[in-house]
Structures are given as structure tokens and as C-alpha cells.
Structure 1
Amino acid sequence: MHFKNPTDEEIKEILTSKKRIAVVGLSDNPMKTSYMVSAVMQDAGFEIIPVNPSADEVLGVKAVKTLQDIDGHVDIVNVFRRSEYLPEVAKDAVAIGADVFWAQLGLANDEAYDYLKAHDTVSIMDKCIKVEYARLVR
């Protein structure tokens, strides 16, 4: 893996200035990590947009099937899909003009990283947004 994450200072700036997060792979099952992480971020004041083709609603918010179904600007695309799906999600994130692509802890893909870098989109990989928020902001 050759991806390079932003510095702690840059990640802190992202987490204090970006408030609208589209969560790809957000489960409607409260026992799943994606649900727990997103609930904490929602409680911290972030707007969570569930991207889940099989759910109608997650965390009290109407779910959308794809990133392209979201109205308005997306600050962060937070991804809870396996690493092999990251290039596809990265292309969708660039297509909608998202500021930041964030692949959760354990997820990374060099092809996605290279694509995002070529399209001037900030990418963070193999880090949990909830953990980084608690560590750098709270």
C-alpha cells in the first residue's frame, strides 16, 4: 500500500469544518459498526446521509440508494465497504464533487487513492472517523 493520509492537523481541520457526511454501506442494524460509528457522529452534530440500497431509513434519516441520489453538496464520503469496492466508490465521490473520501479502519486501496489524488480529492484510508474525531477534536 502506498496511500498517504493527511496529517493530524489536516484531519482535525476536516473534522471541524466539514459537517455533511454521506455514509456508503451504512447498515440499519444497530449492532453493526457502520451504524454505531454513524450514530456517534450524528450525536456530535454531523449530518449523516445513509447510502444503503436496501434500507428506507437509517438513524431516522431517509436512505438513498447511491451517492448520485443525494441533493446538495457532500463534504465527506465515509465508506464501510470492502477494499475492492473502493475504486468504484471513489469514482462516485469524485463525480458528485465530494471534498473528502474517507475509508474506514481496515479499508485501503491504492487504485482508489491514485484516482482520488489525480482528481484533487482528499483521501483518508484505514482510519475510523469516530476514533479520529474523539482523538483530535473532542
Structure 2
Amino acid sequence: MLPVNPGLAGRQILGWTVYSSLKELPERPDMVDIFRNPEAAGQVAVEAAEMGVPVVWMQVGVRNDAAAARAEELGSTVIMNRCPKIEYARLFGEIGRQGINSNIITTRKRPVKQVKKLI
């Protein structure tokens, strides 16, 4: 993981040096995960695709169709409005191990069903 944040460039986050842009990274990443608003995410997505990054991922709530189309034209796979952690858990059974394999991803709490005591 290589953090990129122009406002924190040069600092350390969990022992990792923060870079100011994708172009400053010492190596090309396999995936760029974008935590920005849709307009800013579009610029980052296209920049990543121009660098040859194979996968561009926009987080939950982030969607920019024009940028996604351009990035795909440049050869990147683009995923929008999804979280890699949630998708990994959903696809590889981690959610099921927690007893919540409902096939529905949500942040809303469901009401607890009342169970009658038999004693």
C-alpha cells in the first residue's frame, strides 16, 4: 500500500511515506483505490489509467461515468461505488463466517427479533 495525499506529502502514515501524486510513486501500483469526491476521483482515475494501472477502484458513494469510460479506453478495469474490503468479504465467505450472510450489504441495523423463553 502506498498512500497518496497532496496535503500530507512527505509525512508518514503507519510507517508509510505519503506521496503527493501517483506520478511520484516509486513503482506502478496494481490497483488505485480512490477516496475522493466524484469530480476529483475522475482526474485520479484517468491519471492512473494513463500510467497503466490495471485496476481503478472508486469507493462507496463515488461514481464518475465519464472518467470511468476514459480509463477503460486506456485499458484499466474500473469499479465504482464499491469497497474492496466489503467485496472481498462477500466473495470469499468472510461475511458468512460472521453469521450475516444475507447477500445484502448495508450499514443499517436490522431490528433484533425477540425470542420467547421456554422456561
User: Is residue 25 of structure 2 the alignment partner of residue 70 of structure 1?
Assistant: yes
Q: CA RMSD in A?
A: 1.2
* 1:87/1:115 contact within 8 Å kept: no
Distance in 2 separating the partners of 1:95 and 1:110: 17
Alpha-carbon displacement from aligned partner over 1:25-82 (angstroms, at most 9, x marks no partner)? xxxxxxxxxxxxxxxxxxxxxxx11001222111220110000000112100000000
* 2:50/2:71 contact within 8 Å kept: no
Looking at secondary structure, tell me which structure has more strand per residue. Answer: 1
Paired residue secondary structure (1:127): coil
TM-score of the aligned structures, taking structure 2 as reference length: 0.71
2:38 aligns with: 83
1:59 aligns with: 14
* 2:3/2:16 contact within 8 Å kept: yes
1:50 aligns with: 3
Paired residue secondary structure (1:126): coil
* 1:82/1:107 contact within 8 Å kept: yes
Displaced runs of 4+ in structure 1, greater than 3 A?
none
- Which structure would you say has the larger Rg? 2
Listed as ranges, the gaps of 5+ residues in structure 2 are 95-119
* 1:50/1:57 contact within 8 Å kept: no
TM-score of the aligned structures, taking structure 1 as reference length: 0.62
Paired residue secondary structure (2:61): coil
Amino acid at match of 1:54: G
Distance in 2 separating the partners of 1:73 and 1:95: 11
* 1:83/1:109 contact within 8 Å kept: yes
The Cα of 1:83 is off from its aligned counterpart by: 0.5
* 2:34/2:58 contact within 8 Å kept: yes
The Cα of 1:112 is off from its aligned counterpart by: 0.9
1:118 aligns with: 73
Amino acid at match of 1:57: Q
* 1:94/1:119 contact within 8 Å kept: yes
Identity of aligned residues (%): 35
Amino acid at match of 2:7: S
Aligned residue-pair number: 91
The Cα of 1:127 is off from its aligned counterpart by: 0.2
